[in-house]
Chains A and B, each alone.
Chain A
Amino acid sequence: MDKSIEKLILESFIKSMCSVYKNLTNKELIIKGVEKMMNPAFKYSEAVTIVGFSGMIVGRMIVAMPKELCAIVYEALGAEQPSDDDLLLAVGEFGNMVAGNAITRINNHLKDANVRLSPPSSFLGRT
């Protein structure tokens, strides 16, 4: 893949994450660093959302976050005291917003990219 497109994709997702997080919580998200994963497998014990995308670029976005953060997102969406099922919905919705925002940036930059999202899937507990 062209390095400039790779850079665009990475920046789009990072900017979208920061933007959606700030819109929901009114707080800044601090990016500690960006690391390339050599091993595609990873373990996480809290909340995870996966959003696939296809078009000129094909891939998936995975967001892994603590349950407490899911609860903040859930409450920012207008409700209180989420159950586990509510947290599942919240993390999925968060992923959908971030991925949607990122893909819009990419499609705006690259005409004819026509990147589309599949629905978000969410997971809670030890994965």
Chain B
Amino acid sequence: MLKKVLSEQFIIYGDVSMPKGFEINSLELIKSIFESLYHEKDNSFCKDWSKLDSYAREFSKIKYDICLETINTWGNIYIPNEKTGSLINVDYMNLKNSPDFTLLYGINTKDCFVKIHYDDNRCKGRSFDIELKHNMFIIFPSTNIYSIDNNQKDSLNFIQTITYELK
């Protein structure tokens, strides 16, 4: 009797653990998000974004042998009590140019929850809830619909999104 796994869904999450003195500077990332929104550009590249991107790609490779290539990035600001609708980062009309994975990174986030929807064979409409804390990242398949709940009442939450193609 043999078993063959045809498909697998997984998420990777954790803190971005940078060497002391080289931590990601939240203020620089927030500034970069504001700049990109002001200039109406998706991309918000800066030195601290580069630290995050390198960390995600390099540690995914050495820990799980997942080789990622960066596709796109943008930052979002969530006001108190804001709840997004359903989000998805693949274009089903253009799957060839869609990303394989989505990374969400919490910047000064507080009471911020991500709900990732998935199907488990005939059990449809399941979801996995995870709190996106400050300096924490979540990587999940871009084909999964997700939503973000900003439950705190008094400050903004910032989330940097990066999409990746599997190499």
* A pairs with B: no
Residues of B that sit less than 8 Å from A by CB: none
Q: Report A's interface with B, CB cutoff 8 A.
A: none
